[in-house]
Every structure is written in C-alpha cells, then in structure tokens.
Amino acid sequence: MTTLDPRPQTGAAPWIASNQAMWDARVPIHAESAWYDLAGFRAGAIALDDLELGGVGDVRGRTLLHLQCHLGLGTLSWARQGAQATGIDFSSAAIAAAQALAAELELPAQFQQAEISQCRLGRLFDICFTSWGVLMWLPDLAAWAQTIAAHLRPGGTFFLAEGHPHLFIWDDERDGTGYLPRNPYFRHSEPVTDREASTYVDMTVQLGHPQHRWNHPIGDVVTSLADAGLRIVELAEHARLPWRPLSWMIEDSDRPGWWRIENDPFPLSFTIKATKETSR
Ligand SMILES: C[S@@+](CC[C@H](N)C(=O)[O-])C[C@H]1O[C@@H](n2cnc3c(N)ncnc32)[C@H](O)[C@@H]1O
C-alpha cells in the first residue's frame, strides 16, 4: 500500500498547544454567536446538515464517536437522532461547554478532552464522524487515520465532510480580485501561521493568539485512511460549502446558509465514507 511522505512530523507539539489556547479563547465567543445559535439548539434544532445526515444514515441505537466536536452541538444532535454519542476535542473549554449543555438538556452524550493523535478511549464504536473545519488543524493525517481505525469496530463506518483543500490556496483572500494563490496546496511539515487569529463567527474579533494550519490534499486524506485499514466506499466532491471563504461566493438560493460560485466551476467541499476492513 502507498505510504505518505515519510518526513517525520516531530516537533508539532508547540503548534498544537498554541492552537489549543486559541480554540479555548474562541469558545465563549462561539457560545454567544448567532453562527452556533445555542438558543435554537436548546429549542430542539438539529445542528447537522443534509450531507452529514444523509452520509451517516440511521444512527438509532448505534455508538458514534465524534472527533473535534467543539461545543458539542453535532454530538448532541446525533444523540437527538438516537445515537449513543461520544464527542472528543482538545479544547478543555469546548468540552466543558459541551458537558454543561448535555446536562442542561438532559441528552445522553459523553464528552472527553483528547488530542486527536493521542486519543485512545479503549472502546470501539459503530460510527466515527467528523466534519467542517477539522483537518487543517492536524499536522499528521497518518496519526488521525490511526485514531479513527483504533476506535471503529470491524465493519464500522467512518464519515467526513470537509471544505475542499484547494480553498486553502487562497484562504482569506477577500478582495475579490481573482484566484490569487497565497498558501501551499501540497503537504508542508511547517504550518502556515497567522500571527493574530480571528474567528469565522466574527472576523472583527482579535483573539490575541496565533493560529497554525496545515493543508491536506485529497490524495493524502484518502491514502492515510487506506493505510490505516479503511476501505473507501465513496469520495464525493460538492459545489457548495456551509461558510463563505471567498468574497465572490454567492448564497445558494436552494439552501440558506450554504455558498457556491456562479456556474459551479470547481468543488468547494468533499465527503468521504469508508468502512473499517474486517481483516485488520
Ligand atoms: C471548526 S471546529 C469543529 C467543527 C464543527 N463542525 C463545528 O463547527 O462545531 C474545529 C475543532 O477542532 C478542535 N481541534 C483542533 N485541533 C485539534 C486536535 N489536534 N485534537 C483535537 N481537537 C482539535 C478545536 O478545538 C475545534 O473545536
């Protein structure tokens, strides 16, 4: 089987710790934001979209592990759909917020603080799920895929929905002047660092923390999963995205809150469905 670029991913710990502090700082802002709409969630909303719901399918009575669960809205939504859901995230502030919300709403979900590459819960799940804005925070997709494989029962399902990695090339290019490349597409062991992070829920906020991100080409995502013993069932590319990284994107008239580019010239997001091979 093909292996990824063998360059060692050592030395990422300071970047991870720095990102962790940045995510902790985002949590209270996100909890108050219209983007996350906690009031709507408290009133019974499901914080999952049609790609996620359709891709994962019926979760009633099934165990589900949600990686990088943030405030827990996705995890708690899976619980509302009937799953026995567990969410993990490296942000202690996010996990505390998720646990408080679960207790308040009396939803049967568990949350645990864990960094993806280190996470070993010692349990197997029917489903492993992760979505939207997750991969660029991870320096090492091989470790990510091994964590997924380590928590799936043989025959279990993995589902990912994510922004398309080519968007990272001109990430934050907001002046509408065209397709100006700023960041690398291909794998880079050093992260792209922004010295002052803001947040997608309010770009006027300055968090007082840097952010460090790594882009992962689709080939690396698929190969890391295959190397970890997952069989790809479907890789699909989509011409829409649930946020607006480029100023020339237009709102999808069929789906409020989703964005596309006129005439749909290229994909903006992708989904992967995979199963854990039974022989490994
Ligand atoms: C964009 S958010 C989660 C996406 C989710 N769809 C949402 O909007 O709530 C990304 C999450 O990844 C978490 N995260 C980033 N790097 C991580 C790592 N190395 N290990 C575990 N969690 C991580 C952050 O704390 C954050 O909660």
Using the mean position of ligand 1's atoms as its centre, give its distance from the Cα of residue 106 in Å: 23
Q: Give pLDDT, residue 277.
A: 86
Residues 274 and 231: beta-carbon distance below 8 Å: yes
Ligand 1 binding residues, C-beta < 6 A: 16, 19, 23, 68, 70-71, 74, 89-91, 94, 115-116, 131-134, 137-138
Give the number of the atom of ligand 1 that is nearest the alpha carbon of residue 138: 19
Using the mean position of ligand 1's atoms as its centre, give its distance from the Cα of residue 8 in Å: 23
Residues 48 and 69: beta-carbon distance below 8 Å: no
Per-domain boundaries in the chain: 13-276
Q: Which two tokens stand for residue 133?
A: 């804005």
What is the residue with the minimal CA distance to atom 10 of ligand 1?
134
Using the mean position of ligand 1's atoms as its centre, give its distance from the Cα of residue 45 in Å: 21
Q: Give pLDDT, residue 191.
A: 94
What tens-digit pLDDT sequence spans the chain (280 residues)?
A: 333 343 444 589 999 999 999 999 999 999 999 999 999 999 999 999 999 999 999 999 999 999 999 999 999 999 999 999 999 999 999 999 999 999 999 999 999 999 999 999 999 999 999 999 999 999 999 999 999 999 999 999 999 999 999 988 875 555 556 667 788 889 888 999 999 999 999 889 999 999 999 999 999 999 999 999 999 999 999 999 999 887 778 999 999 899 998 899 889 999 999 999 887 6
CA–CA dist 12, 259 (Å, integer):
33
Token look-up 């470790």 returns 143
Pick the CATH number of 13-276 from 3.40.630.10, 3.40.50.10490, 3.40.50.150, 2.10.109.10: 3.40.50.150
Give the number of the atom of ligand 1 that is nearest the alpha carbon of residue 20: 25
Using the mean position of ligand 1's atoms as its centre, give its distance from the Cα of residue 89 in Å: 6
Give the number of the atom of ligand 1 that is nearest the alpha carbon of residue 131: 6
What is the residue with the minimal CA distance to atom 12 of ligand 1?
68
Question: What is the pTM assigned to this prediction?
Answer: 0.94
Q: Are strands 63-67 and 84-89 parallel, antiparallel or unpaired?
A: parallel
